[in-house]
Amino acid sequence: MKNLIIAALIFPALLITTATLAEASTKVMWGKTESRNGQIGKVTVLCTTQLYQKDHEGILRHSNRPLYKGEEFRVLKYETPSKLKLALLKTIL
């Protein structure tokens, strides 16, 4: 009877541990960040800098916290310069 009680207490813990391990193994890590659907890259901060965020009106504002060297962020969307701008840049340099 004592063994049955111990088994009844341990079995749920084993189920929870197995479920947690299954969830953990489905994560795909890229450096310090977890890769997600729609991610096209990541940014690694090279030196401490100020973080800017757009407010609800679309205006860039200082965030309350700085970004520290080594922090990583997912990139979901970005804008590249046009071919004309890149060509102008090459002529200047």
pLDDT in tens, 32-80: 889 888 888 999 999 999 988 888 898 888 888 899 999 998 888 888 8
Tokens, residue 20: 């947690």
**The dihedral of CA 35, 65, 44, 82: what is its sign?**
positive
Tell the residue number behind the tokens 């009680």, with chain if given.
5
**The dihedral of CA 55, 29, 48, 89: what is its sign?**
negative
Q: Round to whole Å and give the CA distance between 75 and 38.
A: 9
pTM: 0.52
Tell the residue number behind the tokens 């890769």, with chain if given.
35
> What's the pLDDT score for residue 68?
94
Q: Round to whole Å and give the CA distance between 5 and 31.
A: 44
